[in-house]
Amino acid sequence: MAAKKPRFDKRGRLRAKGGKKMFKGLRRARNWKIDADAQGLEIKPLNGLVDRIASINQFGENATVGRMRGGKRIKHRYAERRLLGFSPDDETLVLDIASDLIERGKR
């Protein structure tokens, strides 16, 4: 995932260093709603703001980041970042566990 860009103040001095982790809030369980039943598990954003932030960065969409003095929108195209999902290693691990469970059930 790309690091944060350094921020500058009006004079052009470095305001905050870049390189810190992004989306710390999206990692918190309080921002997600988890529904589990006998059929499966569903994880979805708690509200629209969390959903919007996650989808803009997951898929690399355009978003309004501010407005100019005349009211014209300032838009930015975000880089595509993989926030949610499974890596290939995770998928193979899940398939291995599922096959072990199926084989135990046959015995």
User: pLDDT for 31-86, tens place per residue?
Assistant: 889 898 888 888 888 899 888 988 888 888 999 888 988 999 999 898 888 777 77
Tell me whether residue 67 is in a domain: yes
Residues 68 and 74 sit within 8 Å (Cβ to Cβ): yes
pLDDT at 40: 83
Strands 7-8 and 73-77, sheet pairing: unpaired
> Domain for residue 2, yes or no?
no
For residues 98 and 107, what is the distance between their CA atoms, to the nearest angstrom?
15
Confidence of residue 3 (pLDDT cuts 50, 70, 90): low
Number of domains in the chain: 1
**14 located within any domain:** no
Q: How much is the pTM?
A: 0.56
- Segments forming the whole domain that contains residue 37: 23-106
Mean pLDDT of 99-107: 84
Q: How many Å apart are CA 54 and CA 60, to the nearest integer?
A: 10
Taking the C-alpha atoms of residue 106 and residue 59, their distance in angstroms, rounded to an integer, is 41
